[in-house]
Amino acid sequence: MSEIIQDLSLEDVLGDRFGRYSKYIIQERALPDVRDGLKPVQRRILYAMYSSGNTHDKNFRKSAKTVGDVIGQYHPHGDYSVYEAMVRLSQDWKLRHVLIEMHGNNGSIDNDPPAAMRYTEAKLSLLAEELLRDINKETVSFIPNYDDTTLEPMVLPSRFPNLLVNGSTGISAGYATDIPPHNLAEVIQATLKYIDNPDITVNQLMKYIKGPDFPTGGIIQGIDGIKKAYESGKGRIIVRSKVEEETLRNGRKQLIITEIPYEVNKSSLVKRIDELRADKKVDGIVEVRDETDRTGLRIAIELKKDVNSESIKNYLYKNSDLQISYNFNMVAISDGRPKLMGIRQIIDSYLNHQIEVVANRTKFELDNAEKRMHIVEGLIKALSILDKVIELIRSSKNKRDAKENLIEVFEFTEEQAEAIVMLQLYRLTNTDIVALEGEHKELEALIKQLRHILDNHDALLNVIKEELNEIKKKFKSERLSLIEAEIEEIKIDKEVMVPSEEVILSMTRHGYIKRTSIRSFNASGVEDIGLKDGDSLLKHQEVNTQDTVLVFTNKGRYLFIPVHKLADIRWKELGQHVSQIVPIEEDEVVINVFNEKDFNTDAFYVFATQNGMIKKSTVPLFKTTRFNKPLIA
């Protein structure tokens, strides 16, 4: 075989090869198909289990056997990646409705790894079989597997809208997808309404499909974000934990978390909250305990007496995964290409798939019914001349000769003659013509019904509606996630972040400021304050760490400094110069310092200049959120 050498630039070759690789990753690995909501590896796992008889009504089977079947026949990749995908399909905190039932350790919401595949056992869930129902009735196209030894389905029949029900997440070359799970009954109801009215708006659909329904529950905030996502495929919502308050016997309160946001690692959340407590970022938490057991998720946060539990809750919402933002990015493979899709497009694509599936199944059933009717007509005819038929068969040399004689003498077709000679004589003589006539009548009615479905689009849609209603009735469940219209603004009281403590504030004439514990102050006395040569104490007073200091300078400016931001320094040591906290000019001098507990007061400051100008300003005017530079007084 002669070699062909092509002179190509590295840039062109790399671009071409990466393009092919990207297309493969997008279409064959990371993104779900809009029709059945499955990635290729998930589809192959479910089909391998179904075709090997590992179904809901049978016993559990070792996971390793299924993984071996999938790798050997359909998915030539690593065994762990296949097992990982299989485990995910069994995790009820990841999927709204699990597609695989698993015995053994299949991981946890703490992100613990599952047991090895040789230990766990699995089988299809009852709902998963609805994805595969009628797959043997030529409902979907099959293609050769990777080594051309068998066939695999391009897509599953999918008797319910799995993409919306169980959602999907994945990252590929240039694309990512994040489709949240939804309530099965709501999705089916929305699909039924879409069938009745293809021009239905997103607003109208949202009367039936309220929003995502996460398997971990939680509270969803932001209907506008849901609507935007349903219209365009992109949107943002807030998902927060369900937190309740309990009172203990000792009078203390504790926050009880029973539901957490979707895909949040519970153990990491507990660890983060405990770190905030240990690092004293939040004041008022005594202890954090994970009390989760077989009855359900439960995290207890024990609080100190007389603390504002609502503010602590808000602080945790803001500074931990007790609350997260979820970003919709509804990308799926449609017509062989990745597309960002709104909810109407997803339902429409699913409906078109169902029309094709039901039409293909009806054609298959019609073909079988017509074939059977042809055979029944032959058997009825044979029974009407039974003696002659038996005599002819007995006089024939062999089976083939009998067939040919039946065709030639009595004008049976080849299929009818085959059916007759395949019956043993005793069965032929005992066959009840009344039963055959009854079957013939039933077949006539069935054929008429099937032809009506194929000839009448509305009748076909009614079949889809009936089957969707059956699934809804059989598998519906209550909504787990509560939806709130507005995103709640998080307000955190200062007391939560700053422990309340009485301290001594001191300021020197050269601008050195510090806060000192009352214990250090009492141990030393006022005269023993740490000073530089030539400096003297301007002012000292008892303040609270939750207060604010206003430092006024000779330039008519003031510095806004929260007391808790000041360094905690012993009374005998030198303080911190104000210029290290807020930058001031070299010739700027501190002239006075005042303490404010809050700014909701009618009190005022009076200012006078060297040139005889004077003014009065109320205290609330000095409140600001900017601490990094001097402000005009």
DSSP state, residue 103: E
- β-pairing, 337-340 with 323-329? unpaired
Interacting residues of 140 by C-beta distance below 8 A, sequence separation 6+: 153, 154, 155, 156, 157, 357, 360
Is 119 annotated as catalytic?
A: yes
Write down the catalytic residue from 21, 24, 119, 146: 119
Residues in the chain, total: 633
Other CB atoms within 10 Å distance of the CB of residue 491: 10
The rounded distance, in Å, linking the Cα atoms of 553 and 591 is 5
Interacting residues of 113 by C-beta distance below 8 A, sequence separation 6+: 107
DSSP state, residue 37: -
The rounded distance, in Å, linking the Cα atoms of 620 and 372 is 92
The rounded distance, in Å, linking the Cα atoms of 382 and 433 is 10
DSSP state, residue 485: S
End-to-end Cα, the chain, rounded Å: 91
Query: What secondary structure does DSSP assign to 555-623, as a single string?
Result: TSEEEEEEGGGS-B--TTS--EEHHHHS---TT--EEEEEEES-S-SS-EEEEE-TTS-EEEEEGGGG-
The rounded distance, in Å, linking the Cα atoms of 593 and 506 is 9
User: Which two three-digit tokens encode residue 108?
Assistant: 């946890």
User: Which two three-digit tokens encode residue 580?
Assistant: 């290290």
Distance of CA 323 to the CA centre of its chain: 15
Hey, which residues are catalytic here? 119
